[in-house]
Amino acid sequence: MIIVLKPSTPPEQIQLFADKLCNDYEVKVNRWDGVHSTVLGLIGDTHTVDIEYIDAQDIVESVKRVQEPYKKANRKFHPENTVIKISDNVSIGDGSLQIMAGPCSVESEDQIVEIAKKVKNSGATLLRGGAFKPRTSPYAFQGLKSEGLDLLKLARKETGLPIVSEIMRTEHIDMFENVDVIQVGARNMQNFDLLKELGKTQKPILLKRGLSATIEEWLMSAEYIMAGGNDNVILCERGIRTYENYTRNTLDISAVPIVKKLSHLPVVVDPSHASGKSWLVEPLAMAAVAAGADGLIIEVHNDPPHALSDGAQSLTPEQFDKIAEKLVALKACLK
């Protein structure tokens, strides 16, 4: 249930009203203060709430029930876009385009530092790199694990780029303390124990859409993190499973404007995993920017044919350089 308060309601009166709602009903009150109005979002069992009583209050402009099961992630609860500060000079959701680039897997110090320097020169604003790899085959390269995280931090020190890496287990959260953005992969989107624990941190979380997840299921996973108190969720569309097998997945480009309509959270697109083919990265990335994505996450490798994972979809730094230039130019046109 959302209650929009009249403009110029004194803050003390808002607080008294919110406290009363908490006392009278089995609800938590989520308060959003905008420039022109304040919205109180009621979360919990709102069936017993007397909507007419609330509507009759002097300070209430309007009140309505929210049908969607996600509340904190819902734009009705938070009308303006959420802006997430990742580092001193990188924020996402503020209308800028953030480009996360780097290898699928961190393989060595030379590899990650060289790629980090090159993608930075091309305009990337974050460095991605997998240290813990959830691979389809148990015989495939599983990642350098904690050593991979150390190498990413080294590359951050060399370039200043904030780092993004995937977590697979709740027990590893401490290990990710010094990672700027923690990625939850598609296969873990409904690992609710992991989501709950990440909700207790204040880390930006890049939440990938599950292979077969509906938009509502994806937003409910964001809700799990937010319900714990961490509002720093970035949604990532990475392609879904359809009957089409020409591409690795099918990029659901319509998910970008849909999620931006339903939610206030920033949205990133991963054209590399969506397509599985390096030549498709450029057109899909351009489409994502045109559709309103706040960022992209793109796989770049210094030697794709010898990459330990996802070589076929990785761009060379030279290819990335040309694409990044086009993406930045397109973004500027749209403004």
User: Where does this chain bind Mn ion (CB under 5 A)?
Assistant: 104, 310
Nearer to Mn ion, 82 or 105 (CB): 105
- CA pair distance 302, 5, nearest whole angstrom: 55
- CA pair distance 29, 14, nearest whole angstrom: 11
Least gap, CB of 260 to Mn ion (angstroms):
25
Residue nearest to Mn ion (CB): 104
Torsional sign, CA 280, 286, 292, 297: positive
Under DSSP, the state recorded for 305 is G
Nearer to Mn ion, 287 or 312 (CB): 312
Least gap, CB of 157 to Mn ion (angstroms):
24
Least gap, CB of 272 to Mn ion (angstroms):
7
Nearer to Mn ion, 69 or 134 (CB): 134
CA 149 to chain centre: 20
In the block, which residue shows the tokens 């800028």? Answer: 96
Least gap, CB of 59 to Mn ion (angstroms):
51
Are 128 and 268 in contact, with CB atoms under 8 Å apart? no
- CA pair distance 181, 163, nearest whole angstrom: 6
Nearer to Mn ion, 107 or 310 (CB): 310
Nearer to Mn ion, 104 or 195 (CB): 104
Nearer to Mn ion, 98 or 105 (CB): 105
Least gap, CB of 168 to Mn ion (angstroms):
14
Minimal CA–CA distance to 80: which of 264, 266, 335, 295? 264
Are 184 and 166 in contact, with CB atoms under 8 Å apart? yes
The helix/strand/coil state of 229 is coil
Nearer to Mn ion, 104 or 324 (CB): 104
Under DSSP, the state recorded for 168 is -
Question: E-assigned strands of the chain?
Answer: 2-5, 27-33, 38-44, 60-64, 84-87, 90-92, 98-102, 126-128, 163-167, 181-184, 205-208, 233-237, 267-269, 295-299
Nearer to Mn ion, 63 or 115 (CB): 115
Least gap, CB of 271 to Mn ion (angstroms):
12
The helix/strand/coil state of 63 is strand
Least gap, CB of 105 to Mn ion (angstroms):
7
Torsional sign, CA 90, 93, 99, 100: positive
Amino acid identity of 130? G
Nearer to Mn ion, 213 or 298 (CB): 298
Least gap, CB of 189 to Mn ion (angstroms):
16
Least gap, CB of 309 to Mn ion (angstroms):
6
- CA pair distance 187, 161, nearest whole angstrom: 26
In the block, which residue shows the tokens 């803050």? Answer: 11
